[in-house]
Structure 1
Amino acid sequence: MPDSIALRASIVIGERSRSFRFLVRLVERLPVLALPAWHRFRTQPIDARDITELLAACATTELSGRALDAGGPDILTYGEMITEIAELLLVNRPSVRLGVSATPVAARIAAAVAREDPELVLPLMEGLQWDLLADGDDAAELLGVELHPFTAAVEHALGEWEETEPLRAR
C-alpha cells in the first residue's frame, strides 16, 4: 500500500511476545536443553520497546510505501539465544546439540512442555530452519531509533513478566 510502511522482524523480545514466552517456558521446564540442528542458524531478535518506537516513528516519516527490516543490534544463533535466556533466568541447564531436526514431532513435544498451542509452535519452529537476518533497509537507522541489546531486552521482558506472574526459574 502506498501510504503505509511494513516492518519485518524475526523474534520480538517482550513479556507478551508468545515466541519469547515459549522459549522461556522451555528453558524453565526442561532439565536438559535439546537443541535441534537449527541451533546454529542466526537471527536478530529485537526488543518490544524498540518495535513500539519504530511503529511510532513510522507515523511521522516520509518513507511510506516501503518495507523495512527491524532487526535488533545483536546477531545470535538460536542456540546462543536460548543459552543466554537460561543464564538470565539464573538456571544451569546442560544442552545437547542434535544433528537432526524432526520439526513436526519436536514442535508437538515442545508445545506440550511449554503448554503452548501446537498450531503456533509448529510454524515458529519451521521458521528456524535458516538464518533470519535483517536485509536491505535498516528501519532503526532510517527512523532514528536507538536499539536495546539482546541482554537488556531479555532482562526487561523478564522483569515486566515477573510483575504479573512469577517465573519458576528465578
Structure 2
Amino acid sequence: MVRKDDGVYVVLDRILRAPIEEVWALFSRTGYLQQWIGEFTGNPRTGAVKFRMTAEGDDAEWEDVAIMECEAPHRLHVDVGHAGDSRRMYVHLTEASGHTTVTFAQRLRTLTGEADIGVGWDYYLDRMLAAHDGRPLPRWDDYYPSMLEHYETLCREMSHDLKTEHAAAHRDGTLG
C-alpha cells in the first residue's frame, strides 16, 4: 500500500528479463494483452479506448478507458470505467541490465472491502509473466482466498495509520 496525493494505491512490481519495448507491448498491444488479461478496441491516440478482461470469461463487459498519460515505453496512466466510478491505474516501466521492472498500481476507493484488488493484480501480473515466458498461466484458486488475509491486513494497517494521523492533525490544529 502506498499513499499518494490522490489516495491509497495497491502497488506491485514484477521484473522481466526483456527489453522495455517488449514489455511495453504486453500493456499496449491487444495481441499481447489477450495472452494474459484482455483486449481493447479503438485507437489509443484518441485518448480513449474500450477494454474488456477476457480472462474473466467470454461474457466480460467492455469498459471505457480514458488514457490520462502515455509516455511510451515508460508510463501509462488510465482511468477505467464510467466517469465518477472509474478506477485509476498506472504502469511504470524501467529498464536496466537487460531487465525491465514493471510497477503497476491501482487506487483504492476505500480501505474496507477492496483487499481482493491486491490479490487480483498479483494474479494478473503473474499471468503476464507466465504469458511472456511461455509458461502455463497460474490458477486463480492458488491466489484466492489464500492471499486475501495478507491484503486485508495491509488495508487495516493503512486505515489505522491514516486515522491516527488524522486524529493527531486534528489535535494539533493542522487539519485543513
Find the structure with the greater CA-based Rg: 2
Bigger relative contact order, structure 1 or 2 (CA pairs below 8 A, ≥6 apart): 1
Q: Same fold (TM over 0.5)?
A: no
The normalised TM-score by structure 1 is 0.24
- The structure whose residues are more often strand, as a share, is 2
